[in-house]
Structure 1
């Protein structure tokens, strides 16, 4: 009789435990799984706008072309108090050094509203998880792209695209999720007023995380493990908002593909706040980068522009003088050579 190695048995038990020993369950009315299409060109519980294209294997929000935007929105408001959202996606394109712009996962009061924030409206109410790939980043900050950040808005904040939203983000992290060979997943967990973001390379077998974790996490390194991006406490989100994903391209472009969306309701019977009425509150965050005044890039004064013009003029005249002197010297040198020859 063959004896199963202990480490294999433990791994199998952990896998079964992760998949079955949970009270969390997927909400199909808020999930999007292949095959996507219902009757005709419709998708049950979902609407799409803009350049969005539905195929058998993925939903492409934007093609790798300039000035495109697309979105897909759940048509059923989410009344779940504690939830986990897992998105399987792929961002890829021809650009090697220049590419963009990115996509956003929304939990918002209003749906199907086009606008300047990655294809959605500005001054929104709700939560935005922003996956920004714009390689030629705007303004002074100390992070590289691609970059994942979160913004909570009560409708009064402006997303400053010229500064990559760093003035109003609550947290963020660098994450290389573009043009990868393996699958890329992002998980957004909202539990007991804590928002956590994570990523994972291949999570088809994974139904949910442990109920004790609340974060946004990632794993784009193909190490078969969730990697936490950030976790923020004291986030107040209303119930009854809509889930959506939008993407946009500008002068730079990429394919933004969504392969699946899964929303899990977290069963937390020991949480007294689970019975609170959250339908009429405004979204809020206790800690975030406070909105700062938009500071434009330094502009040259009229005096500086005049000085620059004169410096360029002097440089041009000096160059012309050098060329004339060089020609005169060359002609003189040729004449002297002929005189010596005769």
Structure 2
């Protein structure tokens, strides 16, 4: 993630400054203020320009905490301006930290969806959503068998008909994913989400090296214009602080017509290379513990002993009555 701002960005900076878009990314794309959050955050604790927040979300001048490190908390942050760009890029600066050393959770998600400000079971937001979810799952007590470790970053595109399978960490409906180690580090960690010409690219900067590392690239992803950006997080029996330090939206459009942007509002979210959801299969039942086996054997022995005692008594009594007669 280079710090060099190219010439075209510098030439346009003065004009853009007048329009309140004062930052460029490494590609020279302009940051859109009405879709972004940059410190210090204004309207601390009451109003956040261009954004709504709900649940346990707390706004400070330096960070926005979606959830505290407490059990059963949920929070969300939603932009109230629809995205009318054909191509775009998002940089999210965040920190996830807490007192847990081996057990922690649950995680947070970055959303580009038709629905906004709706609570639900998917990291504090709505299930059966329409759009894109980028999920950063930290739940350390794995749900079922996996071939990856946690934290784990994945993407899901939904047309409103699929449910996020929390019991399987969404692995039955994900586009792609990668392992990400961002929890309890001393520095800010970042994720980049770029959507350009129906190609979704997700990269990370998790080692404070000021450079992007690719997580995955998926082609043939169709997303409508006119959807909303949001973030949400949740905790359950396990918990963490989920802090957002920045959210920067860059317009990547080059010579995209207004008619093209309006036409894409009618697209149904889909990923052509995405495999259909696999059948949900329950985990095999766990084997019995040694203690349970011991008590079962003990119970069988006791029952057998009682049956033997009863049988011996019965036959003794029967034989005694025969001798009497």
Please say whether Structure 1 and Structure 2 have the same fold, judged by a TM-score greater than 0.5.
yes
Aligned residue in 2 for 1:313: 299
Aligned residue in 2 for 1:43: 48
State whether structure 2 residue 184 is matched by structure 1 residue 179.
yes
State whether structure 2 residue 50 is matched by structure 1 residue 64.
no
2:106 to 95, 101, 108: 101
State whether structure 2 residue 253 is matched by structure 1 residue 248.
no
Q: Is the Cα–Cα contact under 8 Å of residues 84 and 261 in structure 2 kept in the other structure?
A: no
Describe the shift of the 1:240–1:16 C-alpha distance in structure 2 as closer, same or farther (beyond 3 A): closer
Provide the C-alpha distance between the structure 1 equivalents of 2:260 and 2:267, rounded to a whole number of angstroms: 14
The Cα shift of 1:309 comes to 5.6
The Cα shift of 1:141 comes to 1.4
Describe the shift of the 1:174–1:273 C-alpha distance in structure 2 as closer, same or farther (beyond 3 A): farther
Aligned residue in 1 for 2:35: 30
Q: Is the Cα–Cα contact under 8 Å of residues 192 and 273 in structure 1 kept in the other structure?
A: no
The Cα shift of 1:248 comes to 0.2
RMSD: 2.7
- SS of alignment partner, residue 277 of structure 1: helix
State whether structure 2 residue 176 is matched by structure 1 residue 161.
no
Aligned residue in 1 for 2:315: none
State whether structure 2 residue 220 is matched by structure 1 residue 234.
yes
Residue pairs, 1:144-155, within 5 angstroms: 144-155=149-160
Q: Is the Cα–Cα contact under 8 Å of residues 124 and 234 in structure 2 kept in the other structure?
A: yes
Q: Is the Cα–Cα contact under 8 Å of residues 86 and 256 in structure 2 kept in the other structure?
A: no
Aligned residue in 2 for 1:120: 125
Q: Is the Cα–Cα contact under 8 Å of residues 93 and 247 in structure 2 kept in the other structure?
A: yes
Describe the shift of the 1:79–1:270 C-alpha distance in structure 2 as closer, same or farther (beyond 3 A): closer
Aligned residue in 2 for 1:17: 6
Provide the C-alpha distance between the structure 2 equivalents of 1:250 and 1:50, rounded to a whole number of angstroms: 14
The Cα shift of 1:15 comes to 1.9
Residue pairs, 1:206-245, within 5 angstroms: 220-245=206-231
Paired residue total: 282
1:51-101: per-residue Cα shift (whole Å, max 9, x none)?
000111100000000000000000111111100011111000001010000
Provide the C-alpha distance between the structure 1 equivalents of 2:150 and 2:193, rounded to a whole number of angstroms: 20
Aligned residue in 2 for 1:297: 283
Provide the C-alpha distance between the structure 1 equivalents of 2:167 and 2:261, rounded to a whole number of angstroms: 41
TM-score (norm 2): 0.80
State whether structure 2 residue 59 is matched by structure 1 residue 54.
yes
1:280 to 266, 279, 285: 266
1:236-263: per-residue Cα shift (whole Å, max 9, x none)?
0000000000000001000000011110
Aligned residue in 2 for 1:189: 194
Provide the C-alpha distance between the structure 2 equivalents of 1:129 and 1:312, rounded to a whole number of angstroms: 52
Q: Is the Cα–Cα contact under 8 Å of residues 23 and 267 in structure 1 kept in the other structure?
A: no
The Cα shift of 1:222 comes to 2.4
- Structure 2 runs not aligned, ≥5 long: 11-25, 304-325
TM-score (norm 1): 0.76
Q: Is the Cα–Cα contact under 8 Å of residues 31 and 251 in structure 2 kept in the other structure?
A: yes
Provide the C-alpha distance between the structure 1 equivalents of 2:159 and 2:141, rounded to a whole number of angstroms: 29
Q: Is the Cα–Cα contact under 8 Å of residues 31 and 261 in structure 1 kept in the other structure?
A: yes
The Cα shift of 1:286 comes to 1.1
Provide the C-alpha distance between the structure 1 equivalents of 2:227 and 2:200, rounded to a whole number of angstroms: 16
Provide the C-alpha distance between the structure 2 equivalents of 1:90 and 1:288, rounded to a whole number of angstroms: 30
- Structure 1 runs not aligned, ≥5 long: 1-11, 201-219, 318-342
Provide the C-alpha distance between the structure 2 equivalents of 1:39 and 1:53, rounded to a whole number of angstroms: 9
